[in-house]
Amino acid sequence: MAGAGPIPCPPPEGYNARMTETAEATKTATAGARAPRAVALISGGLDSMLAVRVLQEQGVHVEGINFFTGFCVEGHTHAIRNKDRDRPKRNNALWVAEQLGMKLHIVDIAEEYKDVVLNPRHGYGKNLNPCLDCKGFMVGKAREWMEANDFDFIVTGEVIGQRPMSQRKDTMPIIAEESGADERLLRPLCAQNLPATLPEREGWVDREQLHGITGRSRKEQMRLAEGFGLNDYASPAGGCCFLTDENYSRRLNDLWQGRGERNYELDDIMLLKVGRHLRPSPSFKLLISRDQGEGQFLRGYRRNHAWMETVSHGGPLALVDGEPGAGEWELAARLVARYSQGRNAEAVEVAITDQDGSTWNTTVTPMEPGSIPEEWLL
Amino acid sequence: MSEYELDATGTLCPIPVIRVQDRLAELAPGDILTVHASDPGATHDIPAWCRVHGHTVQTCEEGDDGIRVVIEVGHG
């Protein structure tokens, strides 16, 4: 294989010892009998990591499940940009699994998840985040997995009062009921503030060793993490879903308005995460790369978009979403030229390829700085 | 022991990992799966996923023609 060559991929420090320790703890606690088996929803953040660790301390065999919705905030998406290339390219859910010495199952629910985003029974939060429906749906998928794999109960890292929509005392029973998990849903970090669940009543876990954490403060979780020797974890309470992001939600709303229907494909929602988005007309939108990394990424989507790039000067790659009218191609070209190295030139040549594969070049004057209406910028 | 190939180029993580996960579930211990990918994240995520599931990464390399990860299926 030509090029850079082998990439070292050693396990994280202490990984082998942790795997042995976890297996031994389960064996000791259950004295050889079948250990209770739990499946835990793993986001990659601190709370779900702690929830698992609390149960591992009690000898419960825990495996993680992580759902891919298409809206996940991943280090890899950020790493598309040149300036972010040095960020760690780790998947936080996998990182957590390695820290805890447990298996992680990653499940693609992107297609089914559309209904959660498009028709949330409990509505949206501040942006297009259907948090309560989302949690109920994911716990429901975890229940299906639990039943198919002969596990006993489901674990989440939820804390009462931590999230305004989905993590409240009055919404916790809704999640348990709508997911069908009912009494098999255990929240180890706040269990002492909730009625005892089946795993507690059956003695699979000791309620006294669970916790009664409430509120948005992270102090108690950080203290717990320190006690477990966990000192490397993703930003506490860090958002893991683009739907909570105001800017992203605006772009998604614009996509629906532009197409005249509330629907999307996976490619659509991936592209909303990348580049500069401008809508100069109801009939089309431009996605303009901000650096070489994004340009490279957008190149992969040329097959199903019209696209443009500057010829006479260095510049971005732009995808065209929609169909510009006859007089609008020049406007699009002037916008692309505005973000090229020829932004101050009198004339910039732009190559255009439409969706049928026809290509032509046009020479335009770049839009002047300050002449792009703010409402065009998404 | 049989050898298999999986093309996950053009997909972003975690899709390559999910493809590996689903394919390995169909293979037997000792089988070899060679994965081709393009997302740099795959060089971290595929080995990490293999470690927690007891599979062995024989080689992980990046070249001009992309990323190649060779996995020996473990007992899971």
What does the domain layout of chain B look like in residue ranges? 3-61
Interchain proximity A76–B13, CB inside 8 Å: yes
Query: E strands within A118-235?
Result: 153-155, 185-186
Per-residue pLDDT at A78:
56
In this structure, the strands spanning A359-364 and B66-72 are unpaired
Nearest chain A residue to B11 by CA: give it. A300
Does the pLDDT value for residue A58 go beyond 90? yes
- Could you write out the DSSP letters of every residue in A266-311? HHHHHHTTSSEEEEEETTEEEEE-SSHHHHHHHHTTGGGSEEEEES
Closest CB from B21, B45, B57 relative to A91 = B45
For A304-323, what is the mean pLDDT? 96
CB-CB contact of A232 with A100 (8 Å): no
Q: How far is A212 from chain B (nearest CA, A)?
A: 30
CB-CB contact of A368 with A331 (8 Å): no
CATH of domain B3-61: 3.30.110.40
ipTM metric: 0.96
Per-residue pLDDT at A90:
76
Q: Which of A171, A49, A164 is nearest to A99 (CA)?
A: A49
User: Looking at per-residue confidence, does A232 or B14 come out higher?
Assistant: B14
Interchain proximity A2–B62, CB inside 8 Å: no
Interchain proximity A91–B44, CB inside 8 Å: yes
Confidence of residue A213 (pLDDT cuts 50, 70, 90): very high
Mean pLDDT of chain A: 90
Give chain B's length.
76
Q: Please identify every residue of B annotated as catalytic.
A: 13
Per-residue pLDDT at A260:
92
pLDDT (tens digit per residue) in A86-142: 655 678 899 999 999 999 999 999 999 999 999 999 999 999 999 999 999 999 999
User: H or E element: which one contains B72?
Assistant: strand B66-72
Q: How far is B47 from chain A (nearest CA, A)?
A: 7
Per-residue pLDDT at A3:
60
Q: What percent of chain A shows pLDDT beyond 70?
A: 89
Interchain proximity A90–B45, CB inside 8 Å: yes
Confidence of residue A75 (pLDDT cuts 50, 70, 90): low
Which candidate in B5, B12, B60, B61 is best for mutational testing of the A interface (most A CBs within 10 A)?
B12
Per-residue pLDDT at A236:
44
Per-residue pLDDT at A163:
74
Per-residue pLDDT at A237:
46
Q: How far is A367 from chain B (nearest CA, A)?
A: 34
The stretches of chain B forming alpha helices (DSSP H) are 15-24, 42-53
A292-329 as b/e, with b when 16 or more CB fall inside 10 Å?
ebbbebbeebeeebbbbbbebbebbbbbbbbebeeebb
What single DSSP character describes residue B58?
E
Structure tokens at A353: 């390829």
